[in-house]
Amino acid sequence: MRGDFSKLIPKDRSFSSVLKALLPGEAAPMMRAEVTVKAIDDEEQIVYGEVYAPYIIDSHGDMMLPNAVKQLAHRFLIQQKNHFIDLQHNNKIIKASIVESFIARASDPTYQEGSWVLGTQIFDDGIWGDVKAGKFNGYSLEAMVFKYSADVEYDYLPVHFGFTEENDGHFHSFYVEVDENGTVIGGSTGAGGLDGHTHDVRHGTATEQTNGHRHRYFLNELD
């Protein structure tokens, strides 16, 4: 099983999208899942990322099968919820809109096959600045779903090394430890910038702030 634990990020680091697309049938328990933003179009102020990937255990211990992910994505568009976007699940709609939505194909070089991917254009310059600064780093799905019990076996990498994305004219190497659920335990970066500063790592997808900035990072994927 493929495991991308960069998607397991806490809510205080999430760029939240209110995706209350109700699947056919009776109402069921509320599900929330957080995933990381993977690309930014600075010129058009658009962020891209997976809303949900099939077979991935999320931060609540849940997962979805490919057909369920597709149903959720289609129902969201059918119900015309493009503008239902907020921050941190506060239900206060921001100036933004979904401008792209698709299910990733097997040949996609960036997203896992079967994932629901969105492109969201941000019209609020202040929020866009927060996205670029690393304050908001992922979509957060909220939906009414049916839940079924399942036994899932998966592998995980307890230690991750890599390089952060560039910000403020520099980048860092990083070291991160995760637990068996894929949750970040902690870590830090190597020295970077003209003054040789470092950043602590306490959560998924972004370092802690130093010198007024953060850096996005991605945990290694396991195939």
pLDDT in tens, 165-174: 888 889 999 9
- Reported as half-sphere exposure (CB side, CA atoms, 13 A), residue 53 has a value of 27
The pairing of beta strand 96-103 with beta strand 116-122: antiparallel
pLDDT mean over 206-222: 82
pLDDT tens for each residue of 27-78: 344 444 444 566 677 778 998 888 888 887 666 667 888 999 999 999 999 9
What is the model's pTM?
0.59
Highest mean pLDDT among 3-7, 123-127, 128-132: 123-127
pLDDT mean over 203-214: 86
Q: Mean pLDDT, the chain, as a whole number?
A: 77
pLDDT mean over 205-212: 88
Among 33, 116, 31, 38, which Cα is nearest to 73's? 116
Chain mean position to CA 182: 14
pLDDT mean over 136-160: 76
Burial of residue 10 (CB within 10 Å: 0-12, 13-18, 19+) is middle
pLDDT for 119: 92
